[in-house]
């Protein structure tokens, strides 16, 4: 099923004008993102928010920045009908997929010939569950390879914990387990008009307490997924670390300390199919 999902994931057939696939905004060779502040969809329209990485997304407790999808299947269904993303309608997509000679045998074998939104998204989600990235330098260090991390990376790991970063970036994926509020001071310092996307989870619940509340992103592979934050406003990791420390933790990091934390975060870059993501991203 994952092989079918992989084909669908890369197929522009799922978009209204045949130009956009899941991989357009979540390229596997570029860290599972598109490296744009906000994504570009059909008819070159700009979306409202930065594309999260697809790698390890199966281990998020919810999907999307605002948590509006509980599962990968629900997430996969959303972009197809978003007019700024894939700009199609599911009944039309189902017709196109069902008419494809290359897909018909696979749906026959896997779903008794049933081609519908549920079977298409189930296949895509099954593929996405394979997109895990083990064997980072940090993983190797934890398994006993004390030479896997540099002294700078080790110092960065200590600073990361001591500074309070782990209060939000929890668990083995360093995030993806909770919602946290982005400080009002962040938006004041950023400037510019507030957008609907800036509301975060408020857009889902309508609860004032959820305004500016976002799913905490995982930090595995963070070094290969610029730019950063929901609005893509931080062009590089040092900027992102410095901003987060200031607005979320009340800390003004020295350049040396910020650089050490960045070095540690770089040690969280894992491998996909035996290839380090930073090597994939550089090709």
Q: What Rg do the C-alpha atoms of the chain give, in angstroms?
A: 20
Is residue 182 within 8 A of residue 243, CB to CB? The reply is no
List, in sequence order, every beta strand (DSSP E) within the chain.
179-181, 213-215, 271-272, 275-276
Contact 125, 73 (CB under 8 A): yes
168 marked as part of a ligand binding site: yes
Q: How far apart are CA 219 and CA 242, in angstroms?
A: 15
Has 25 been labeled as part of a binding site? yes
Cβ 111 vs Cβ 8: under 8 Å: no
Was 165 annotated as part of a binding site?
yes
> 194 among the known binding-site residues?
no
Q: Is 280 annotated as a binding residue?
A: no
Residue 246 is assigned to a ligand binding site: no
Reply yes or no on whether 271 is catalytic: no
CA atoms of 248 and 229, how far apart (whole Å): 13
244 marked ligand binding residue:
yes
d(CA 272, CA 257): 30
**Which residues have C-beta within 8 Å of that of residue 30, sequence separation ≥ 6?**
224, 280, 281
Which one of the listed residues 6, 73, 85, 128 is annotated catalytic? Answer: 85
Task: Please give the annotated binding residues for heme c, written as ranges.
Answer: 22, 25-26, 165, 168-169, 244
Q: What residues act catalytically? A: 85
């Amino acid at each position: 099923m994952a092989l079918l999902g992989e084909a669908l994931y890369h197929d522009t057939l799922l978009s209204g004008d045949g130009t956009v696939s899941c991989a357009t905004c979540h390229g596997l060779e570029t860290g599972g993102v598109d490296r744009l502040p906000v994504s570009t969809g059909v008819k070159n329209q700009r979306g409202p928010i930065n594309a999260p990485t697809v790698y390890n997304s199966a281990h998020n407790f919810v999907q999307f920045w605002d948590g509006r999808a509980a599962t990968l299947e629900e997430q996969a269904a959303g972009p197809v009908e978003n007019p700024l993303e894939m700009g199609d309608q599911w009944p039309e997509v189902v017709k196109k997929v069902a008419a494809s000679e290359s897909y018909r045998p696979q749906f026959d074998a896997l779903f008794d010939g049933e081609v519908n939104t549920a079977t298409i998204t189930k296949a895509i989600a099954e593929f996405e569950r394979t997109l895990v990235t083990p064997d980072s330098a940090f993983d190797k260090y934890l398994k006993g390879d004390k030479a896997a991390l540099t002294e700078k990376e080790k110092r960065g790991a200590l600073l990361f914990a001591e500074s309070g970063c782990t209060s939000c970036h929890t668990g083995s994926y360093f995030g993806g387990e909770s919602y946290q509020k982005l400080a009002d001071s962040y938006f004041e310092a950023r400037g510019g008009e507030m957008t609907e996307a800036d509301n975060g989870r408020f857009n889902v619940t309508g609860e004032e307490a959820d305004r500016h509340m976002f799913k905490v992103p995982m930090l595995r592979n963070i070094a290969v997924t610029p730019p950063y934050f929901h609005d893509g406003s931080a062009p590089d990791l040092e900027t992102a670390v410095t901003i987060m420390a200031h607005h979320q933790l009340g800390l003004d990091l020295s350049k040396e300390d910020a650089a050490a934390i960045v070095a540690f975060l770089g040690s969280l870059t894992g491998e996909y199919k035996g290839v380090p993501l930073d090597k994939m991203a550089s090709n």
